[in-house]
Amino acid sequence: MAQQLARESITKGPEETASVEPPAARRSREPLEDEVSGPPVSPECERRLAELATWCRDLEASPRCALPPSPEDSARLGEMLRGIWAASDALGPMGLLRNSPAQRRFQEVLGEYFWQSPIIHRCFAKPRGYAGDFLMMEDVYRNRPKGETTLGRWMDRWVLEEPGFVAVRNRRAKLETLLRDEWTSGARHVMNVASGSASELADVVPTNPFQEVTLLDQDQGALFAATTSLGRRMDPARVRTWSGSVFTLIRGKTSLVPGDQDFIYSIGLYDYLSPRFATALTARLWLNLAPGGLLAIGNFNGHNPMRRFIEAAMDWYLIYRDEPDMLGLAVGLPNVEEAEVWTDPTGCLHLLLARKRGARPAFGSPA
């Protein structure tokens, strides 16, 4: 491909760019600028918070804390969390109100226990500026609990087996299958938008050598990790990168060539995009898709059972889309041959799979 993306300097490695609070850290109770008003925490909610805090203390002192979470303990923890949500008056149609009294009280009472999990605390502390950064995602993919304390390792094991994180691993496995299938059917140019470390691509390219890989991400550390990993498995000159905001992409302020990609996917970005920007980005990506190409877009749905927990304990808010919303992203796109929604086995997230009408060019040389 003659035209190349303009590269920004990618010099940052995966090391942190901001200090991280210790695992048991609590937020300051200084008034927050974006603190919202809301109903006071009800006596019933306070009772349930205290009940769960007692349960966590008992677990921490118990020999079973050194073992993987039992089905009984996981079920009991889930039941108590659901009881807290049911007793809270701060649940609105958009979820648990951020910086509401209910959210702050949850963190004050229970943060010291849940934040001993490196994964939960990393999402809350956001050392790279956002919750689901590429290092956190790599930990979810590896599925190997960490933690400096026994309770921290227990909490890590527990949260890694919660449906939302199982769904993330299921999605990665589905993407590997899609990448291999598209390569087999002739795809040779693939683009990953909000790529993170692109570990699924690094696992696929040794046996399915794409001619060119294009990675877009606003986190230069993620691009550094991705290019380092891919560069060990394919010719680094065939890896193109662009570091910048998705809004620049929507406005067409890149040197991307229309119709030059056989497979485009984005799995962690749409969870943060409003309907307006999601529609605009989809149209832009569709423009870059070649005839016969496949577009895959991922999004969590509103039935994710982890939703309240990630809002309360991780301060992590998403924009959820159900199956009709996903299919709606393909409405109005020209030359759609077919559009369907894949739902992972946990039921937590979807992939929109849209195929552009037309014949894919003959196989290019994989060399």
pLDDT tens track, the chain, 367 positions: 333 343 333 334 444 433 333 333 333 333 344 555 566 788 999 999 999 999 999 999 999 999 999 999 999 999 999 999 888 876 665 667 788 888 999 999 999 999 999 999 999 999 999 999 999 999 999 999 999 999 999 999 999 999 999 999 999 999 999 999 999 999 999 999 999 999 999 999 999 999 999 999 999 999 999 999 999 999 999 999 988 888 878 887 677 788 899 999 999 999 999 999 999 999 999 999 999 999 999 999 988 889 999 999 999 999 999 999 999 999 999 999 999 999 999 999 999 999 999 987 665 444 3
CA distance 128 to 18: 7
Could you tell me the two tokens for 8? 């920004």
Could you say which DSSP state residue 146 is in? -
State the SS3 of 160-218.
HCCHHHHHHHHHHHHHHHHHHHHHHCCCCEEEEECCCCCHHHHHHCCCCCCCEEEEEEC
Count of domains for the chain: 2
Quick one: pLDDT at residue 28? Answer: 31
For 87: left if phi > 0, alpha if psi spans -120 to 50, otherwise beta; the answer is alpha
pLDDT digits (tens, 9 = 90+) for 100-122: 888 999 999 999 999 999 999 99
Quick one: pLDDT at residue 299? Answer: 98
Q: What does each C-alpha distance from 132 to 48, 101, 112, 350 come to in angstroms?
A: 29, 24, 21, 17
CA atoms within 13 A on the CB side of 208: 21
Residue 248 shares a structural domain with residue 333: yes
Quick one: pLDDT at residue 363? Answer: 54
Residue pair 120/306 in contact (Cβ under 8 Å)? The answer is: no
Residue 352 host element (H or E): strand 349-356
Quick one: pLDDT at residue 336? Answer: 97
Tally the residues of the chain: 367
Residue 159 shares a structural domain with residue 241: no
Quick one: pLDDT at residue 91? Answer: 65
Could you say which of 143, 164, 185 is where a domain stops? 164
Residue 213 shares a structural domain with residue 337: yes
Question: Residue 149 belongs to what domain range?
Answer: 43-164
Could you tell me the two tokens for 144? 């190997």
Picking from 82, 112, 262, 85, the residue whose alpha carbon sits closest to that of residue 190 is: 262
CA distance 69 to 314: 20
pLDDT digits (tens, 9 = 90+) for 182-208: 999 999 999 999 999 999 999 999 999
Residue 71 host element (H or E): helix 71-87
Residue 132 shares a structural domain with residue 189: no
pTM for this entry: 0.87
pLDDT digits (tens, 9 = 90+) for 49-105: 999 999 999 999 999 999 999 999 999 999 999 999 888 876 665 667 788 888 999
Residue 55 shares a structural domain with residue 143: yes
Could you say which of 105, 140, 164 is where a domain stops? 164
DSSP 220-236: HHHHHHHHHHHHTTS-G
Residue pair 46/103 in contact (Cβ under 8 Å)? The answer is: no
Could you tell me the two tokens for 279? 């529609």
CA distance 246 to 256: 13
CA distance 271 to 251: 20
Residue 201 shares a structural domain with residue 257: yes
Interior angle at CA 163, CA 161 and CA 71, nearest 5: 50
Is residue 28 in some structural domain?
no
Could you say which of 130, 164, 198 is where a domain stops? 164
Is residue 13 in some structural domain?
no
